[in-house]
Structure 1
């Protein structure tokens, strides 16, 4: 059903490789947006006003009088990573590369739009095409499109991720919470500096930080239900200028990941109490700055069941798999807070996709592009 021709596949590969060679960081995807707009207009698809550099298109199905609309979303941004390897389409912009597959997502949605535009009279719904900026940043492009009001047009929404953690030939999702919230924190410890040989005259923020890093883990191990996934990770520590001076300040920077909004809400207060308690015990002061990022990605029960049915009917029941939830974040979650929908992983692991996401040598497996295009096409064609 909705087979993807070899010519359309080659077009998708051509578009994807052009995007890979010309990556743009979050909020800077203006060349990518221009390319997307050009192709959408050539397809006869209406452009909807939104905050640049995101691009939104509307393909009216049937006779043009349909009242229901289904949104499909692709992210467009690249990462600040120096690409490694010798592929012929390697990034032309040093220090920037598509190391997560968003070039593939954009090419897949453009190609699905191209296919859908040729059969628009047969479609049971209108199609809202969201080419979204800034998935890798916060505030996210999803939040901006929601504020723009364009997502209000949709009755349901679907998205995909070409996924290195799933074998090629498998497509799946998790019914319910599938990806984690992604929050950031900064804890600043204010002590009293001094000579490294006389620590008794100081309030050593580095020593306090070592206690605090361990104590933060007690929140997950002793204050969160073990049946509820949660992660607190300190990824950056800043303190000191040289070996024999104890500084007056230490800064911890990290992330909190949860699958449940109630757990997420509670962790902030627990972190504040633990931080203030540990620091006060040593005579220091601290401040906790907490940035609320993407919420947990929770697939809608009915829409995820529908997406599973589409995968099984399109590719065979053996293609579908129930994937394990991952603690990575994804701003598609914001759409699912306000609209029913589902997010799917398209597996691509194998020889052609051996490196993990965000690795300098990451690359997608272009062999899976036809399946991804067919999936997005059929999510529209088969909508009940």
Structure 2
């Protein structure tokens, strides 16, 4: 794999960083030990500025190039998942109930590898802002960093990120212009009737038939309200009711995930969900409370930056391993907030065969870290050529 020679020289060091991080996963905004490890490495490398405590535990580091120029932002997420690890690796998680099951340890390693190279060579003008972000999996740390003014404070002109992709051929980059990943919203519906003995249902108001009818009604939204060419997903993923076979419960609940790409589709989905649930509640004489969480927006690549990133990827891995017209997917990503704030692009990097993301047997392929680091480094050198 044609990675930069200097980055190839310290590939083993990168592997050590990644495997250390893998053993000590942290969740959401509480990535303090992860951040401390990152800061220690950055100080060893000689970055010019380190700013800590952003979005609770996030880190922004600045590397100055040769003379004036724009600032390019490079982002890596740091947080892990609440999963018991099942890899059996000698460097497996030492924290019960937590593991790096999405490869964020690998993302941090890629960015640290690029930082080490860029600090040594400085073959660029302007500045690089290294964005180490907490709470991608839950909490929207990307949004918090934007709201805390990261883009303005550090005068970031463009921003780029990578996510590892198990199952894609090793070293293959995928991206696209426009929408790459979906928005994600969540609806939790609490339905209240009147409980009682199951032998006398006429004395009760049963919430279960109401929930069943609501769930069936929601399935008509995609087939009858959304234009067939506008991709959307509405999946009811939880239903809970009752405690015994001879009791009509007082309450029932269900939850759904809602995903799409267009703002107008997103708004219509919410509108129809409310209309159907409220209508069915009236029909069954129950009350319904809807807790609707407006989650991450769609991840939308800017056209020029997506084309540029793809051209850099071709330089690193060759044209045959770059798909710049990849299909979009229904997963979501809070890098979307950074792309709302600044032009940029997000890419997937194939890591070859292995367990999928969020699986207890998942493990990041260490051989991919030098590829991702080389991409970041060449992106900076190409976008900000030394004068």
CA distance in 1 between counterparts of 2:92 and 2:113 reads 22
Other-structure match for 1:246: 248
1:36-185 paired onto structure 2 within 5 Å: 36-45=38-47, 46-48=49-51, 50-63=54-67, 66-120=68-122, 122-138=123-139, 140-152=140-152, 153-185=155-187
The answer on whether the counterparts of 1:26 and 1:77 sit within 8 Å (CA) in structure 2 is yes
The answer on whether the counterparts of 2:30 and 2:56 sit within 8 Å (CA) in structure 1 is no
Q: TM-score, normalised by structure 1?
A: 0.95
Partner-residue secondary structure (3-state), 1:231: strand
CA distance in 2 between counterparts of 1:367 and 1:325 reads 26
Is 1:346 matched up with 2:325?
Answer: no
The answer on whether the counterparts of 1:3 and 1:374 sit within 8 Å (CA) in structure 2 is no
Partner-residue secondary structure (3-state), 1:302: helix
Give the CA deviation at 1:259.
1.1
Deviations 1:260-279 (A, max 9, x none): 12211221111100100111
The answer on whether the counterparts of 2:75 and 2:111 sit within 8 Å (CA) in structure 1 is yes
Give the CA deviation at 1:4.
4.5
CA distance in 1 between counterparts of 2:261 and 2:222 reads 13
Deviations 1:6-65 (A, max 9, x none): 4311111100000001111111111000011111122221113523300110111113xx
Other-structure match for 2:377: 377
Given candidates 205, 213, 216, the residue that maps to 1:214 is 216
The answer on whether the counterparts of 2:63 and 2:127 sit within 8 Å (CA) in structure 1 is yes
Q: TM-score, normalised by structure 2?
A: 0.94
Given candidates 274, 277, 280, the residue that maps to 1:278 is 280
Deviations 1:121-169 (A, max 9, x none): x21331010000000112x111111111112221000000011142213
CA distance in 2 between counterparts of 1:276 and 1:243 reads 28
What's the Cα RMSD here?
1.4
The answer on whether the counterparts of 1:99 and 1:357 sit within 8 Å (CA) in structure 2 is yes
Gaps of 5+ in 1: none
Gaps of 5+ in 2: none
CA distance in 2 between counterparts of 1:368 and 1:232 reads 34
Deviations 1:248-290 (A, max 9, x none): 1111122111111221122111110010011111111112111
CA distance in 1 between counterparts of 2:197 and 2:56 reads 53
Number of residues of Structure 1 aligned to a counterpart in Structure 2:
377
